[in-house]
C-alpha cells in the first residue's frame, strides 16, 4: 500500500499526497530519512513558508514529474550498460518522447501563472528544495527578461525607477563595457 503524507500550508491548507510524490522535495525526503516524519502515522508536515494556492501548484508539478524522476534512475542504469541493440534504441526513443511531453507540459504549466505566482513557486521550490521546479521557475523568468532593457523589465515587474537622471547616466558610463559588442 502506498504511504501517504499530509502537507499543511502556511494558511492551513491540507493536502494528502503519496510519499513518492512528496519525496521529490529534498526537505521532506530528509525529514523522512532522519525519522522526523513517519508516513505510517499520517503525521502532518507543516510548510510555513508556502501558501495553499502555491502548494497546490507545487504538488501538481511533483505529481506530473513523479514518473520522470523514478525513470531517471532506470535511465542511468541503462546508460551504464551502453547497449546498441534494437531494444535499447526503442527505449531511448520512448524516453526522449516522454521527456519532450514533460518539457511541453512544464512550459504550459508556467504559462498559466502570472509573474507573482512564478516568483512564489520559485520561493516554495527553494524552501522545499525541489531543484527541478526551482530551475524551471528561474528559467521562465530569465526567458521573460532576456533581451529587455532595464525600463522594460521595470515595467514587466512593476518596479519603480528610483534613480535620478544623473545617477542613471553615471551607471551607464561605469558599465558601458557591458553594452559593447
pLDDT tens profile 46-101:
999 999 999 999 999 999 998 765 545 444 455 555 556 788 888 888 889 999 99
Phi, psi of 11 (to 5 degrees): -105, 35
Is the pLDDT at 110 greater than 80? The verdict is: yes
C-beta separation of 39 from 5 below 8 A? yes
Q: pLDDT value at position 82?
A: 52
Q: pLDDT value at position 133?
A: 98
DSSP β-bridge partners for residue 9: 47
The x, y and z cell numbers of residue 111, run together, are: 504559462
Q: E strands of the chain, at which residues?
A: 4-9, 14-18, 44-47
Class (C level, CATH) for 50-145: alpha beta
Maximum CA pair distance of the chain?
Answer: 67
pTM of the predicted structure, to 2 decimals: 0.81
List all residues 6 or more positions away from 45 whose beta carbon is below 8 Å from its beta carbon. 5, 6, 7, 8, 22, 28, 31, 37
Is the pLDDT at 147 greater than 60? The verdict is: yes
Distance between CA atoms of 152 and 115, rounded to whole angstroms?
14
3 state DSSP class of 42: coil
Q: Which of 70-79, 93-102, 112-121, 127-136 has the lowest mean pLDDT?
A: 70-79
pLDDT digits (tens, 9 = 90+) for 34-43: 888 876 777 8
Q: pLDDT value at position 142?
A: 97
Residue reference for cell 534512475? 73
C-beta separation of 33 from 129 below 8 A? no
Amino acid at each position: 500500500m502506498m504511504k501517504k503524507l499530509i502537507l499543511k500550508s502556511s494558511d492551513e491548507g491540507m493536502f494528502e499526497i503519496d510519499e513518492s510524490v512528496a519525496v521529490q522535495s529534498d526537505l521532506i525526503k530528509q525529514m523522512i530519512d532522519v525519522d522526523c516524519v513517519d508516513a505510517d502515522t499520517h503525521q502532518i508536515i507543516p510548510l510555513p513558508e508556502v501558501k495553499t494556492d502555491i502548494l497546490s501548484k507545487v504538488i501538481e508539478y511533483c505529481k506530473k514529474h513523479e514518473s520522470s524522476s523514478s525513470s531517471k534512475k532506470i535511465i542511468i542504469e541503462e546508460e551504464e550498460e551502453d547497449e546498441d541493440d534494437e531494444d535499447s534504441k526503442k527505449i531511448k526513443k520512448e524516453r526522449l518522447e516522454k521527456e519532450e511531453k514533460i518539457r511541453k507540459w512544464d512550459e504550459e504549466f508556467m504559462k498559466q501563472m502570472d509573474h507573482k505566482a512564478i516568483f512564489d513557486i520559485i520561493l516554495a521550490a527553494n524552501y522545499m528544495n525541489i531543484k527541478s521546479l526551482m530551475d524551471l521557475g528561474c528559467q521562465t523568468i530569465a526567458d521573460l527578461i532576456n533581451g529587455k532593457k532595464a525600463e522594460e523589465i521595470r515595467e514587466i515587474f512593476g518596479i519603480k525607477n528610483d534613480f535620478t537622471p544623473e545617477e542613471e547616466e553615471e551607471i551607464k558610463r561605469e558599465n558601458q563595457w557591458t553594452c559593447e559588442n
